[in-house]
A and B are shown apart, each in its own frame.
Chain A
Amino acid sequence: MMLALSILIPAAAAALIAACHRRPNLREAVSLAAAAGLFACVASLGGDVLRGARPSLAAGEILPGFALAFELEPLGCLFALVASGLWFVSGVYSIGYMRGNDERHQTRFYVCFALAIAGAIGVALAGNLLTLYLFYEFLTFVTYPLVTHHGDEPARRGGRTYLALLLVSSMLFLLPAMAITWWIGGSLDFAPGGILAGKLSGPAAAGLAALYAFGIGKAALMPLHRWLPAAMVAPTPVSALLHAVAVVKAGVFSIVKVVVYVFGIGFGAEAFAWLPWVAGFTIIAASIVALRADNLKRRLAYSTVSQLAYVVLAAAILTPLSIVGAALHIAAHALGKITLFFAAGAIYTAAHKTEVSQLDGLGRRMPWTFAAFAIGALSMIGLPPAAGFVSKWFMVSGALAAQHWFALAVLVASTLLNAGYFLPIVYRAFFVPALPDDARHGEAPWPMVAALVATAALTVAMFVWADVPLALARRLA
């Protein structure tokens, strides 16, 4: 019942928002109310999951043997909590951003946003691979209008890259991977011990694992990461949606889900033995690109590529501790990255600055924004008192437990690199004197500031009260 409601709330919200297109205030109220309702819904389900329940719902067979089925397990619950909670916050932020920048087609924006949330929740609740794939592709198509929101030539080009890479990966790799899984395993249902264990071995297993790892292009493993920087043409709330709320999270979530529930922890270690190396390479390479990027959003985009690879790396090491780390990092990165994007959008709205080199002294004019930015940066680096520390702790412990020295080295090196590209921004903003600039501006519109302060506070809160997400994550491994 509650499960069905979780999908229906955002879908119904999309319809209502479309109906209210002549009344912006009502439209945005609907959007926020739906977000709050969804969060309440998912939270109440989360309580059941913590008590050990696995709420499930079969919505009928699509094909013989393939049901449209939903089942909420701890990881999905964590993802759904993050997505629904951040929908509310980004809804508040969007109001400020879209009005502050006089964006066009605002109704279409809110409709697609709500549909994207429906897609993300569908991915989170999917009870089998086919359902997951259905919502995964749905998410690709409903976010396309958001990415190309401006409708000009750069938007068209960015949209093309976005769609091309996501569809090439999902159609060319993920779809055959599913078909092969069905052929070998005879099932596509997520099962606690996996469905492939003992039915496949050696290079074939590694090959299938590769089809999955690269087929889930939303996880942005190199070399399939280019869609993420390309999607930077979109308005900032969309970037937040892509990087924190729904899209990339759907990607890494799907990978963790495939590793744990399709391959199974024992067998997965064999099939995914190569994956830490690819993920490790992605972490380092993306960090180096980020280090050299002057455009703030581009730097954040490559930071996302690298942070996502953390999750993949941790999932691929396949020790209970690292799986907990992977699950926690999905939430921790979401909170930290959304703060950073909100801050970037606030800087753009208030000061019309997009490059890192232009940020000198801005911290004094926009203290709230940059304080929040600093907290987000700490979380990315993995320092207390931010949520990133908790997940990184588990990842490092997992790497130690598995005696995976390469992973450990990558984690240490990337921490330094993260510090290298985030701390200078904070330093510039607060300690370098401002350029003689005529623009007299303060903070961005209040809904934006409120939203980014809230997410920064949540980032800290997840460090202080880590027990709820931890309890969910521990149920997984």
Chain B
Amino acid sequence: MVEHLPALQVVLPLVAAPLIVLARSPRFAWLATTAVSYACLVIAALLATRVATLGAFSYALGSWAPPWGIEYRVDALSAFVLVAVALTASFVAPYARRSIAAELDADRQYLMYAMYCLCLAGLLGITVTGDAFNLFVFLEISSLASYVLIALGRRRQALVAAFQYMLMGTVGATFYVIGVGLLYLVTGTLNLADLAERLRGVEDLRPVLAALAFITVGIGLKLALFPLHQWLPNAYAYAPSMATAFLAATATKVSVYVLLRFYFTVFDPAALFDRLPTRETFLALSVAAMILASLVAVFEREVKRLFAWSSVAQIGYITLGIGLENHAGLTGSIAHLLNHGVTKGAIFLLLGGVALRSGAASISVGSLAGLGRRMPLTAFGLVIAGLSLIGVPGTAGFVTKWFLILGAIEREAWWVVGAILASSLIAVAYVWRLVEAAYLRAGQGTRREAPAGMLAAGLAMAGLCVYFGFFTSINVAGASDAASFLLRGAR
């Protein structure tokens, strides 16, 4: 049983999706989704403990030995990402019932659940697989599902946003598959571990360099690496609340995982970082994202879009670790996959409650006036998550910031230190616009909190922001193991 866990991790949500479509009942859909999400969390936790005690292990799908069959591989990094994704899912699923019921017609609700399960299956599959082409398949499963999730948004702009995302996402996936094709041309294998072995010594071949470029841009599109982030603000702004929370907390993070996997375990990091300007490129792009996207957020009027821009900036924090390429920097980056996931997850979950009670399709900063009176708990949760976004000590965001700063100091890249600090100050500016609106401006309306289930999920996630700020045995220890694992071959 235990040895089949890597497969179960993916199969469970994958099987749930067609069942939900067959049953069509929203109630069954919700129960199945929630059960699957919790089961995924348990499996991910079991896998993570197993990796922590026994080390990385692999699973041959259908007992076909790798590299001929498809290999599933769980190591420190993938276990960490599995936990991050499943953790978010286990908060989003219970939240979904009221939120979906409020935003979609009864006859279309099952679609949302089914797509969510498919997306979850895809994301977990990307993380667990050890095969480059299988990874592509899962990438497409999750992406296609997320296009539908976004298109189900209440406003008509959601269709445009989904279409825009689909165009960019398809370009990204195509680039990725071209890159993988080139690698296959050179090495004749698709197994990631096998690829890594066969690529040693041929890093300077032109097809390999081209593959690197295709994969970087393709995955860069998926993870919204600045300046390939154009699809993200609209997609987040118009998607249904639950979809925004889930995608913001997981989808881009898993793409970052793919990039990390290719950069540190498939290509030879020594060649990649010393002979190519990888470090400089990633530092420059990350810093640009951290500063520019944060500045856009300061002047954005629509709240979901504001936080979408903030996500672009926070993805900059995550990719910064690739540019720093040292243990502290990568620990910060990988920890931020989880830290930012819970932070943004909490924010979008709580905003979903605000949207539900205000009845409007979009929430402007001005319409938050008096939120501190109308929805005191929601407003408080938003403040806590906002503090984590800024990186105030005692929150998850601080942990990330601290490691990134240490990483930058170690590289003696003082301008990067300055950029990290400047970016968190800009975050104060946009978070405080909301705080001022919620607490220091009078608004109308009577006191009415979000439905209990939604509120509880949002607050619990906001609580996690504080929990991970003090008890770092999951986020930092896991990320530190993963960083050691990535740098093992490096130097």
Contact = CB atoms under 8 A, between A and B. Distances in A.
Interface of A: 60-64, 68, 130, 133-134, 137-138, 141, 145, 148, 151, 155-156, 159-160, 163-164, 167-168, 171-172, 175-176, 179-180, 182-183
A180 B417 CA distance: 11
A225 B210 CA distance: 56
Contact of A175 (B421, B432, B472, B477): B421
Q: Which 8 A-B pairs have the closest CB atoms?
A: A134-B393, A179-B405, A151-B440, A183-B409, A172-B421, A137-B393, A156-B440, A171-B421
B417 A176 contact: yes
Given A68-B470, A167-B428, A171-B425, A134 B406 contact: no
B405 A175 contact: yes
Contacts of A168: 425
A182 B406 contact: yes
Contact of A179 (B394, B399, B402, B469): B402
A168 B428 CA distance: 10
Contact residues of B: prevailing secondary structure? helix
B9 interface: no
Interface in B424-477: 424-425, 428, 432, 436, 439-440, 442, 469-472, 476-477
A224 B66 CA distance: 63
A180 B410 CA distance: 9
13 contacts: A60-B470, A60-B471, A63-B472, A130-B393, A138-B393, A141-B387, A159-B440, A163-B432, A167-B428, A171-B421, A175-B405, A179-B402, A182-B406
Contacts of B394: 134, 137-138
Nearest to A179: B405
Contacts of A180: 409
A63 B424 CA distance: 20
Nearest to B412: A183
Contact of B393 (A133, A148, A159, A176): A133
Contacts of B440: 148, 151, 155-156, 159
Nearest to B408: A179
Contacts of A138: 393-394
Nearest to A150: B440
Contacts of B294: none
Contact of A183 (B410, B428, B436): B410
Interface residues of B, number: 29
Interface of B: 387, 392-394, 399, 401-402, 405-406, 409-410, 417, 421-422, 424-425, 428, 432, 436, 439-440, 442, 469-472, 476-477, 480
B424 to A, nearest CB: 6
Contacts of B476: 63-64
Contacts of A159: 436, 440
Most chain B C-beta atoms within 10 Å of own C-beta, residue among A61, A138, A175, A182:
A175
A63 B399 contact: yes
Nearest to A61: B472
Contacts of A155: 440
A87 to B, nearest CB: 22
A60 B225 CA distance: 37
Contact of A172 (B406, B425, B436, B442): B425
